[in-house]
Amino acid sequence: MKHDPSRAIFEMKQFGEFGDVNPSITDSATYTFLQAKTMSDTFHGESEGCFLYSRHWNPSNKYLADVLAAMEGTEEGWVTASGMGAITSAILQCCNAGDHIVSSVTTYGGTFAFMQNYLPKFNIKTTFVDITDLDAVRNAITPETKIIYTESMTNPMLQISDIPALAEIANEHNIKLMVDNTFTPMIIQPAALGAHIVVYSMTKFINGKNDCVAGAICGTHEFIGSLIDVNSGTAMLLGPVLDPLRSSSILKNLHTLHIRMQQHSKNAMYLAIKMKGAGLKISYPGLPDHKGHEIMKSQMNPDFGYGGMLSIDLITSDKANRFMELMEMHDVGYLAVSLGYFKTLFSNSGKSTSSEVPQDVQDDMGLSAGLVRFSVGLDHDIERTWKSIEYCLKMME
């Protein structure tokens, strides 16, 4: 039977300490032991069900991590205080000085900056490639390579990674395939397709309210165990711990994720068809002429659609800025970074979330100065939203 991420969430039986239907929030930094030996065993990872200190584990974070692992179909999960906390912790756990990463060049600006500007401090090098060119991926691998890194749907170009093919390449070289699935939770399940490590910014679709910043890592027992080892675990020693109150709120929001992804996808498809019909240069993986359409069809869960992300190319940043200002003025949504919110958000990627990427690299990867990225919201009357967008386009003429 095909793994159903929503059903996996709903089948989790998690009760509060007094039978609460919502798990209790553990508002504690440290935990008591009735026997000194149990504390010693816990420090050495030799006890089950014991909590030591909230930087290591706390019950609220474990409730959320367990549900995320169930959703992803992985053995274990771990939650962090931000998406970058998840990405950087996972990468640093895999890499030592002298190691090498092969990464998609079209990736979130913060991730690009971490690999390009920060990791060289530790003599960790990254080769950036067009992730849809599998020969380029193969040719970039060296004896020092430890990770192939990509996003299921890349930011902001909306390329679709062929995860099974990338996993095959990784396995041939005995390296890890790490996939950021932030844009496509439930729609794509990287672990089921062969990815070894899955990371998220839960700030986005998973939480869906833009009221907190959080991240997640999903993988094997062995990998998550190494992350939280008290002596050598990156997540333990760098301390990107998520507040348990936030864990609790995200856990509640996860139970509506399937409904939200369906509506995001439905609305984005509607706008994509209308925008294409209006003659706009549009990128949306749900349209048959998108270069990654067939690959996405082959690895997606069709119950949840093609996602809520689309982009249009208005050629110049001045035109993009004018259009976004008009859309905000006419209640299409907000001119803001981030995504996955219940209202539509839009931004000029080259000048915002991809601004860390040097201009020459933006040019090489085909990132237009006029690219407007949309995170389409949960509008009930999406036809009205389109009419507002259409009105703004006419005002640009």
CA–CA distance, 22 with 252 (Å, rounded to integer): 8
Neighbour count for residue 313 (Cβ, 10 Å): 18
What is the residue whose two structure tokens read 């530790």? 122
Q: Is the peptide bond before 156 cis (omega within 30 degrees of 0)?
A: yes
Would you say 395 and 363 are in contact if contact means Cβ atoms under 8 Å apart?
no
Of 191, 188, 246, 250, nearest in space to 217 by CA: 191
Which 3 state secondary structure label does DSSP give 190? helix
> What CA–CA distance (Å, rounded) separates 185 from 143?
33
* b/e code 354-368 from CB counts within 10 Å (16+ = b): beebeeebbeebebb
Domain 5-254 fold: Aspartate Aminotransferase; domain 2 (3.40.640)
pLDDT attached to residue 192: 97
Tokens describing residue 49: 């069900």
Q: What is the pLDDT of residue 366?
A: 82
Half-sphere exposure (Cβ direction) of 119: Cα atoms closer than 13 Å = 27
- Parallel/antiparallel/unpaired status of strands 125-129 and 100-104: parallel
**182-197 pLDDT tens trace:** 999 999 999 999 999 9
Terminal alpha carbon distance of the chain: 53
Would you state the pLDDT for residue 249?
97
Residue 44: the pLDDT is 75
Residue 18's pLDDT is 79
Contact 217, 69 (CB under 8 A): no
* Domain at 257-395, CATH from 3.40.640.10, 3.90.1150.10, 3.40.50.720, 3.10.310.40: 3.90.1150.10
Residue 53's nearest CA partner among 199, 244, 246 is: 244
CA-CA distance, 286 to 273, in Å (whole number)? 9
Average pLDDT per block of 10 residues along the chain, 397 residues long: 86 83 89 85 75 87 96 98 98 98 96 97 97 98 98 96 98 98 98 98 97 97 94 94 96 97 98 98 97 97 97 95 97 96 92 76 86 97 98 93
User: What's residue 395's pLDDT?
Assistant: 95
Read off the tokens for 298: 């082959």
Model pLDDT, residue 128: 97
| DSSP at 361 | H
- Which stretches of 142-241 are DSSP H helices? 163-172, 221-227, 234-238
Q: What is the pLDDT of residue 50?
A: 77
pLDDT of 1 reads 52
The structure's pTM equals 0.95
Burial category of 118 from C-beta neighbours within 10 Å (exposed 0-12, middle 13-18, buried 19 and up)? exposed
| DSSP E strand boundaries for the chain | 76-80, 100-104, 125-129, 145-151, 176-180, 197-201, 215-219, 282-283, 309-313, 334-335, 345-348, 371-375
Q: How far is Cα of residue 41 from the mean position of the Cα atoms in its chain? A: 35
Residue among 279, 276, 372, 367 nearest 323 (CA)? 372
Q: What is the per-residue pLDDT across 318-355, written as a single tens digit (0 to 9) for each? A: 999 999 999 999 999 999 999 999 999 999 987 766 77
Give the integer Cα–Cα distance in Å for 99 and 237: 20
As a whole number of angstroms, the distance between CA 40 and CA 47 comes to 9
Domain boundaries, the chain: 5-254, 257-395
State the Cα–Cα distance between residues 312 and 326, nearest whole angstrom: 15
